[in-house]
Structure 1
Amino acid sequence: MGKLDVFVVTYSKERPVYFPGQPVQGQVTVELNDTMKIRGIRLRLKGMARVHWTERKSSGSGGSRTEHFSAEEEYFKTSFLLAGRWNDEPGQDINLPAGRHTFPFSYNLPSQLPSSFVGDCGLVHYDAKCTIEKPWNFNNEAITSFRVQNRLDLNRERKATKPAHLSKSKTLCCWCCASGPISANFSIDRQGYVPGEAIIINAEIENLSNRIIKKSKVFLKEEVEYHATTETKFKMRDVAKLKHGEISQGETHYWNDEQLVVPPLTPSYLKGCIIINITYSVMLDVTPAGPCSDLVLYLSVIIGNIPLQDVVAQPPPIIRPVAYTPPSTAVSRRTKNGSRPPRMSVYIETSC
């Protein structure tokens, strides 16, 4: 790095996670082994969201083309001069002597910001970038990210304390003969949770068909909507799951107060972001043997970060810590300058 031994942006917090409206405080550290002539040192803080994906589209005559879909939002962008002068200001360059130099900074975040998020087709990202501008030479840059966590208070969500229930049946077809149905009653104790809490699962699965049921599973699913200018893309992933085994013909199987622990997750809705929306659901998936589709039931849940006050505290579950890897880490470099169907209370399906 020549004259530059150390060039980093650090925060006053060991874990740089902030609520909207809080001050982001830290310092820029520059360590030189010789005098460096500079125009100035500036720091830029920025918050933004971006979505992007590509799709292959038919272009006629058997050909195809790649279409790009994208959108961006900027929540704030502010710059500070830490030393010297701005690039477009008149004046003399300065000589920064050898040694260690620290430049503190502080910035109050706007009061309305979405939580940090990284998904398959988009992200909400916050970072600080410091630039050493040098006359007639390459600039140096150091970039590091920080996280924002917007509050979602479950006590303000009307459905959070209410239990949810769904019943559904399915008749299995076997060539030209229909067997009896498989049916399920599926319920959860309430609809609002924070990470670390357990969703209490109850289910009754009745197998009146002429086949075995291979397994039943319960998933906590995250569904993300990415909104570009002209298109919307849906992405779903499993974030937690439980599994039970076979159910023989004529048997009834029960899930009794099973606990599905909520892992660390971004709060529902991603409030403050227009181009990305996040929802969560609990899904019961009953898998019969043979060539037939599964019996699937969905119940919507809300994931917040301020827990319900009028819910009896659960015993603390055992959860494994999840390490957070920010989208970009502190670096120094040289530069020249599928939606699912609507939920319903009762649904009967008679085809495979």
Structure 2
Amino acid sequence: MGEGEGCLSTPQPPMSVVKSIELVLPKDAIYLAGSSIKGKMILTLNSTLVDPIVKVELVGRGYIEWSEEAGASRDYSRNVICNNKADYVHKTKTFPVEDNWLSAGSHTFDFHFNLPPRLPSTFSSKFGHVFYFVQASCMGREHILAKKRMYLLVQGTSAFHKETPLQNPLLVEAEEKVSYNCCRQGTICLQIQMEKNTFTPGEKVVFTTEINNQTSKCIKTVIFALYAHVRYEGFTPGAERRSRLDSSELLRQEANTHMTRFNTTKIVSTFSLPVLLSVSSSTRDGEIMHTRYELVITVHLPWSLTSLKAKVPIIITSASVDSAGCQSSEDGVLPVSPDHQN
């Protein structure tokens, strides 16, 4: 998110002592958990300001909410609201003001914050969100004179990959006996091969699909899709623990290849992962959501009543700032191209 994007400003009256308040941060940056956030606050005054409080805050929060029926043994006409929230970071930098006054004109204040080493990624869905922002403010003796907020993109980290054995290389197979032309039967075998199934955001996922068609029918369409399965953990007003699973399709490709009868066809596919992703996570107390990923390959059989599917677990991790190496441009800040800003 670049300078001037995603900023919320407090409207100023025409004769306010504060002319403007600005935040200057690297343009289109994704911050790694554990990295530093460096920027400037520029405060421009119309006149002298006495006893000001000038500060910048770094805030990270998460909130989820959904409604569901009260329960099988209760009144189905009544919905209950389930929600949960988390505070991930809140740091404040208050700038010293010499002689407790600022003259008319522009004043620049440099600041930096260190993000905690373990954070969830910036996230948004119909059930919740995780967001981070830097907020600058200037206060007089009794009230806020001006403030501005700029939202940040943060790539989170997790210890998931340290606890789960890596499955490299990976081979997944599926087989289906199908009926067609009334009394004829055949077998279709699906095999997916990957050199690894553990990736970082922005990395390319390469896999080979082998389809052994032992029928007298041709196969024309294969769908490759990457799904994110998010489990939300919330509580009812009565403090009962509830959870909800929501799945979404992140990436999709369709291969229209003529796969002849009694033959084997190989398809090599590549997915480019988004540069900002929630990392895979196992269930832990105190976390409001947990994410897992799955690559699903579907062979459509229009001449049969069935389709053949194979599912491959995908693990998303994120390197720490210390080990990010050439991924980092400076202090764990990753630039994001315009194609990946949303």
Whichever residue aligns with residue 42 of structure 2, its letter is: T
Tell me the CA shift for residue 298 of structure 1.
Answer: 0.6
Q: Aligned pair in 2 of structure 1 residues 29, 45: CA closer, same or farther (>3 Å)?
A: same
Deviation at 1:184, TM superposition (A): 1.6
- Scaled by the length of structure 2, the TM-score of the pair is 0.71
**What is the aligned counterpart of 1:219 among 221, 225, 245?**
225
Query: What CA deviation, in whole Å up to 9, does each residue of 1:264-323 have, x standing for no partner?
Result: 24253259982222222221111111573432111112233449xxxxxxxxxxxx8633
The one of 295, 298, 317 aligned to 2:308 = 295
Deviations along 1:148-183, one digit per CA (max 9) or x if unpaired, are 334569996865461222222233466986743433
CA contact (8 A) 2:137 2:148 kept: yes
Tell me how far apart the structure 2 counterparts of residues 155 and 52 of structure 1 sit (CA, whole Å).
Answer: 28
**Counterpart position of 1:100:** 106
Give, in whole Å, the separation in 2 of the partners of 1:5 and 1:205: 67
2-structure distance, mates of 1:212, 1:64 = 51
TM-score normalised by structure 1 residue count = 0.69
Distance 1:34 1:293 in 2: 76
Do the aligned partners of residues 139 and 260 (structure 1) sit closer, same or farther apart at CA in structure 2, a change above 3 Å counting? same
Q: Structure 1 155/224 Cα, relative in aligned 2: closer, same or farther at 3 Å?
A: closer
RMSD: 4.0
Q: 1:82 to 1:35 in 2, by over 3 A?
A: same
- Mark the CA change 1:232 to 1:294 in structure 2 (over 3 Å): closer, same or farther: farther
The letter for the 1-side match of 2:38 is Q
Residue 260 (1) aligns with residue 271 (2):
yes
* Contact preservation (8 Å) 1:38, 1:132: no
Q: What is aligned with 2:254?
A: 243
Mapped pair 1:31 → 2:44: yes
Give yes or no for contact 1:171–1:178 (8 Å, CA) kept in 2.
no
The SS at the match of 1:322 is helix
Q: Which SS does the other structure have where 1:200 is aligned?
A: strand
Contact 2:232–2:288, Cα closer than 8 Å, also in 1:
yes
Aligned match of 2:56: 43
Determine which of 9, 20, 23 is the counterpart of 1:9: 23
Cα contact 2:161–2:317 (8 A) shared by 1: no
Asked if 1:200 corresponds to 2:217, the answer is no
Single out whichever of 295-304 and 16-25 deviates more from structure 2. 16-25
Deviation for aligned residue 1:5: 3.2
2:135 paired with 1:129: yes
Identity of aligned residues (%): 19
Q: Out of 315, 323, 334, which is 2:340 matched to?
A: 323
User: CA shift at 1:15, angstroms?
Assistant: 4.7
Q: Return the letter of the residue paired with 1:276.
A: M
> Which residues of structure 1 form unaligned runs of 5+?
85-93, 308-319, 326-352
- Note the alpha carbon deviations across 1:2-54, whole angstroms, 9 max, x for none: 2343212233x445543444333322222133445776333322222222223
* Shift in CA distance, 293/56, structure 1 to aligned 2, threshold 3 Å: farther
Q: Deviations over 1:128-153 (max 9, x none)?
A: 22233346766532111223334569
Deviates more, 1:296-305 or 1:244-253: 244-253
1:61, 1:119 → 2: CA distance? 29
Note closer, same or farther for the CA distance 1:174–1:190 as it changes in structure 2 (3 Å cut): same
Q: How many residues align?
A: 304
Q: Following TM superposition, by how much is the alpha carbon of 1:117 offset from its aligned partner in structure 2, in angstroms?
A: 2.9
How far apart in 2 are the matches of 1:270 and 1:155?
9
Aligned to 1:231: 242
Whole-Å separation in 2 of the counterparts to 1:42 and 1:321: 31
Structure 1 residues 131-140 or 43-52, which shifts more? Answer: 131-140
- Give the AA of the match of 2:265: Y
**Contact conserved, 2:223 with 2:254, CA < 8 A, in 1?**
yes
Q: Which residue of structure 2 aligns with residue 22 of structure 1? A: 35
**Residues 71 and 156 of structure 1, relative CA distance in 2, 3 Å threshold:** closer
The structural deviation recorded for 1:240 is 2.8
Q: Structure 1 residues 33 and 235, CA, compared in 2 at 3 Å: closer, same or farther?
A: same
Unpaired runs of 5+ in structure 2? 1-11, 236-240, 321-336
CA deviations on 1:212-248 (whole Å, 9 max, x unpaired) are 5441122222222222232222232333333222656
Q: What's the CA shift for 1:70?
A: 1.4
* Cα distance in 2 for residues equivalent to 1:156 and 1:231: 28
Deviations 1:78-116 (A, max 9, x none): 3333367xxxxxxxxx76543112222233333333333
Letter in 1 for 2:271: L
Aligned to 1:311: none
Q: Distance in 2 between matches of 1:249 and 1:284?
A: 19
